[in-house]
Structure 1
Amino acid sequence: MKINTDINILGGLPDWSLIKYYYDINYDHRSGKEETTLKTEKSIRRFKRAIEETFLSFKNEKSKILFDSLIRNDGVSKDFLYFLFWNASVNNELLHAVNRNVYFEAFYSGRAALRIDEVFSYLNELKSTEPQLQKWTQSTINTTASKYLTLLKKFGLLEGKQTKSILHPFLNDKMFIIFIYWITAIEQGPNLLKSEWLKYGFMETELLLERLKKKSFTDYFNIYYTGDNLKIETKIEFGKLYETITRN
């Protein structure tokens, strides 16, 4: 597993408009400093690297097109933040691992809250098998656990200060379609039912399958479901998807 401290850095990002700022390929540090509360060039470079590597890297051109359509049209909106969570999880293996083993375990078991000690315990467990994590101090582990919960809150997945209550997002039709296109773009396996990314749709598999069959989505994709195998064939060019959704 490739491990870095981006969770710590991004959990402390004070100005999320920097995401769009850097995405617009305007990397003038002086301008960036004027638009944010950041104090030094070193601070800006620190956030810039983490933003570019975890938020603004893309598995392929299709996922980049989806990201672009959302940030250009919606800005840093609730819908965009869901997609940002998906994309960041593809880029950051540690984030994805904690999501899979802590957040989604709580989410899909119907839990009401997520505790920092759960994240802390998982990171310490992971530390016993991951050489890169073994270099981290206990202080860094503690900070990562705290910043992880902060990140989920910023993504719109948790709420609260002391007790972090788990929110249960419902993807509107636009974001459901975009999620389906996203998962077909990043999943390399032949059977989507076995995809580790399926959980990122925030719904049980049975509900997802029911929703896929809605007639209103037939213009966007074909589904091939045999009970234990799911394949989805998209119908619209990725570059035209957002316009098509919002026009209909």
Structure 2
Amino acid sequence: MKKILCMAAMLLPACYANGAVIVDEDFDSYADTTALGGVWSLGDGTLDTVLGNPSQSLYHPGTGASFSGANTNSLSFAEIAPGPGEKLVFSADIYDDGASANKRTSAGLREAAGANIIEMGMYNSPNHYAYRAILFGPGDPSWVAFSGLVDDGGAAIENEPVEGWHRFTAEVTATNIDFMLDLNSDGTINATASVPIAPNDLGFDIIRLGGPSDLGSAGGGANFDNISLELVPEPASLAMGLLSVIGLVGVRRRR
């Protein structure tokens, strides 16, 4: 069976053994902020060589006396969109120091031209862990708090900051976005949300970390780590692809 799976991965361009990785960033390879700026377009971001999940991370200050805004840090790439039977998986670890619920900082996946905006992180209206998906079609939510949020012990924590690394994930298909929050980055999904979409032109070509829409954060900043963007086949599509290849292998053997 292992040999058939390997052949499937080679023979089917649409069947990714481990997904097609577009971005895989852990910030560990950079010596300093200058080196980080050689890859990322830095606004008010710096390399944090001490705090990371687990090693280094990108720090965004939120607000401060040295600047008037909260310019985001961005990474551009060739436009990508999920096709039939595919999903685009975007995830980011965000560190919240738990000091304030008045934070406004997020990880965003966008089209640089201004369409198709997905963001996840901390927002102060509503407090605190929230998501948004806008410009996809009528009725898109601006900012919505994750509802029914509880910690790993089952205690309700809605509208409250929790200290630690939190993993935010958005799974995007041509018709839907599923949001997930792993409150302690330990594999436990503490909250989910789903947003149907009907975009005219579904595509993304930039990741932005920091203040959403370059907004400031009166409650301070945050650290970002393990930024991932991957295009993967949905299970049904993968199964059909494998069956097709197995059929081809059987035909070749009979010949």
Shorter-chain TM-score: which interval?
Answer: under 0.3
| TM-score, normalised relative to structure 1 | 0.25
Which structure: larger Rg? 2
| TM-score, normalised relative to structure 2 | 0.25
Query: Which has the bigger relative contact order, CA under 8 A and spacing at least 6?
Result: 2
Q: Which is strand-richer, 1 or 2?
A: 2
